[in-house]
A and B are shown apart, each in its own frame.
Chain A
Amino acid sequence: MASCESKSCADCEAVVTRICDSYGSCRGSLIPILHDIQREMGYISSDAMEIVAERLGVTSAQVHSTATFYTLFYTKPQGKNIVRLCDSPPCHIEGSRAVREAISKELGISEGETTEDMNFTFEVVSCMGLCGVAPAIMVNDDVYGNVTPESVAGILNKYREAK
C-alpha cells in the first residue's frame, strides 16, 4: 500500500477501520463514512478509499467515483480553513464579484487554491441557502452574511489568530 500523505499508514488504517466499524457494511453507508473520514483526516486519501472499498465489498473505483462527484469531499489535502463564497444569482447580483476579488487579494490566492502556509483554501461555490443575507460566505461551518469587500479582512483575521 502506498504511503499516506497526512498521517502514517497505520494511523490512517486505524481511523478508517474504526469509522467503517461504526456503520453497516452496505453501500448506502459510503457517503456517511466519507463525511467522517474527511472530518477526522481533513481529506479522503486514496489509501482510505481502498480500505473503505474492501470493507463495503465494492471496487475502489466505485468509492473513488462517489468521492470525486461531490463538492464537499476532498481527495487532496486542503487548507486548515475553507473559505466558501457563493456566486449563485442572488449573491451575484448583490455583489459577490467584488467580495471574490477582496478575498483573493486578502489571501493572495485565486479560487480553487490553497495558501502556502496551508491555512486557507478558497472556493467559489453554488448556493448555500443564505440568499436572504446575500452576498454570503462560509468559513468552515461558520456563516457570514451581507459581506462587503471591506468586511472581508476582519472576518478572515479571526481564522488567522488560531494559527
Chain B
Amino acid sequence: MAFYRAHVLVDTGTPAVLKGALAVKSALIEELKRRGLDKEIKVVETGDLGLHNAGCGVVIYPEGVTYANVTTDFVPLIVEEHLLKGRPVEKLLYKEDQPSVVTAAESPRCNEMRVILKNIGVIDPNSIDEYIAHGGYEGLVKALTTMTPDQVINEVKASQLKGRGGAGFPTGLKWEFTAKAAGSDKAIVCNADEGEPGNFKDRLILEGDPHQIIEGMVIAAYAVGANEGYIYIRGEYHQSVEHTEKALKAAREMGFLGKNILDTGLDFDISIFKGAGAYICGEETALLESLEGKRGESRMKPPFPPTYGLRGMPTVVNNVETFAAIPHILAKGAEWYCSIGTGQSKGTKIFSPCGDVLYPGVYEVPFGITLREIIYNMAGGIKSGKDLKAVLMGGPSGVMVGKDALDRKLCAEDLNPGAGALIVLDEDKCIVDLMQNIAQFFYHESCGQCTPCREGCKRMLEVFNWWTAGAGSEDDIALLEQLATTMSLTSKCGLGQFAGVAFKSSLPLFMDEYRAHLKDKVCPTGVCSMDKVLEEVK
C-alpha cells in the first residue's frame, strides 16, 4: 500500500455536492498534480461531515484541521499554505465566530451515538482497505470462521434487532424462518428502495459506507444458506448505485463474495437491481415482483418471503439499516447491542428530521431518546424561530403528533419512530393542505390492484380537494374517518392500510383547524386557496 504524508478528505454528502464539492475535489487533485504533490498527498471523498450550512467541508489529516465553505477558488491557497508550507489557512477554518457555522463544541453531532454511521465522513466509501482498517469485515470473519449458521442466527435473535424499514419485525426470527424453510435455493434481498418521503438515511449509508451492507448480507447468506443476493436500489439514487457497484467489485476481489467465501464452502454473490420509480416497491412482496420483472404489485400474504419469496425461493428481505447493523452485532456481540436502547427497542436508530428544522439531516441515536432532543438539540429547532406545530412520524404513512409529544421517548413502548423520518411543521403550515398533499401522494402511488386502496385513495384526495377549495362540509369528517378505517381493514398491503393514518391521528389534534376550513370556509394559516375551481379526480 502506498504511503501518504497527508490525506485531504472532501465532504461529498449531498448538501456539499450541491455546493460544488466535486469540483473542489477535482481542483485539489489537479493542483496537487501541478505541484508534484500527488504522490505524497491523497485526496479522498468522504461522506457527510455534518458541517451544517457550511458549504463544502474539507478535513486535512494528520492535523485534523477542518475547513468550511471551500470553493475551487480557495484550492490553490490551501495547497500552497497548508499542504506545502504547513500553515493552516486561518480565514477558512471551521470555527466559532463564523456566521452560519456551528462550533465544534455545540455541534449537534456531539449527542449522537454513531454505530452504523461511524465511518461516514471518516473513510473513503470507495476504499475497501479503509473500511477494513476501521474494523470492517471483522463481523463477517468472526461469523464465518468461528460460528455455525445456527449460532449466527441465535446471536442476531439475542440482539433483539428489529427491521429498520418501518415494520419492525424481529430480524433473527425472519432469518430462522428462512433457514428452516424447505428448499435448497435461497436468496437475500436488501431493500434499498427508500421511497417514504422524509427518509434519506439509506442514501447516506449506501453513498457513505456501502461495505457494511455487503458484509451484513454475506453474514445473512451464511446463516440461512443462501447463494443469491440482490440490492434493490431506487432508480433515482445514482451515486448510491455507483458506490455500491465499486464496493461489490472490491469485495469480490478480496474474496468476501463469490465462490467458497473464506474457505467455508459458501458460494454467494450480490447483484444490484435498479428500481424504476414506484413507491409501492418498498413493500417487500411488491419489491420481489419487481425483481422478477413484473409490475410492482404486492402479493397475498401468507405465504411470507421467508417461505415463498423471490421466484418461490425462501428469501430474507431486510432494510439497508438492518443489514448495516449486523456486522456490528456479530463483531461486538449481542450483549453489547442489548446494552443500548430501551426494553423493547435495542440498539441505535437513524433519524432524518426535515421540514421546518434548522439543520435537516441524518442523526444516529440510541432508542429511547426524546423527540425534543432530536428536533431541538440536534436539528437546531425550528428554523423560523416560530413554534413547532406538528411532527409527522416516519413519513406520510405514519402518525402525526403535536407539541405535547416532544418529551415522549422514541421507541416501541412509547412513540414508534417508523423508518425514522421526522417531518417537522412550524405554526405557519396548514394541516389540511398537508393532508391534501399526502392524499395526492397516495393517490399517485397506489398500484391500483385492490379496490379499497385504488378507489379509497382517489376519494380521499377528492374530499381533501373540496376542503382546501372551501367546498367541504362538517359531515365529511365522519365520512373520511370511515373511509380511512375501511381502507386500513381491507386493503391488501401497507400502502392502503396506512394511507389514512396521518389524517386520523391529526383529527383530535387539529379539530379546530379542520372546522375552520369546513364550517367557516377559512384557512387560518392562509395556505389553502379556498376558492379553487374543483376538478374531478379521474
Contacts and interface: CB of A to CB of B under 8 A. Distances in A.
A92 B434 contact: yes
A35 B275 CA distance: 9
Given A93-B423, A131-B354, A28 B276 contact: no
B198 A144 contact: no
B235 interface: yes
Contacts of B395: 89
Interface in B265-324: 273-279, 290-296, 311
B203 A129 contact: yes
B200 interface: yes
Given A32-B273, A66-B293, A90-B354, A133 B236 contact: no
Given A35-B276, A89-B392, A127 B195 contact: yes
Nearest to B235: A72
Interface in A126-153: 126-134, 138, 141, 143-146
B355 A94 contact: yes
Given A35-B274, A127-B279, 7 more contacts: A27-B293, A30-B294, A65-B294, A70-B276, A71-B277, A129-B234, A132-B361
Interface of A: 26-32, 34-35, 56, 62, 65-66, 69-73, 87-94, 125-134, 138, 141, 143-146
Nearest to A125: B277
Contact size class for B? 35 or more
B438 interface: yes
Nearest to A69: B295
A131 B277 contact: no
A131 B17 CA distance: 15
Nearest to A131: B354
Contact of B356 (A31, A70, A93, A144): A93
8 contacts: A30-B294, A32-B274, A72-B275, A93-B425, A94-B355, A131-B197, A134-B355, A141-B238
B423 A28 contact: no
Contacts of A146: 18
Nearest to B201: A129
Contacts of A56: 293
A42 to B, nearest CB: 15
Contact of A126 (B273, B279, B392, B421): B279
B124 interface: no
Contact of A90 (B197, B234, B277): B197
Interface string B420-448: 01010100010000100110110011010
A127 B202 CA distance: 14
A88 B296 CA distance: 20
Contacts of A72: 235-236, 275-277
B465 interface: no
A131 to B, nearest CB: 4
B237 interface: yes
B434 A143 contact: no
A35 B272 CA distance: 13
Nearest to B396: A89
Nearest to B360: A132
B155 interface: no
B361 A27 contact: no
A133 B198 contact: no
B199 interface: yes
A125 B421 CA distance: 19
B18 A133 contact: yes
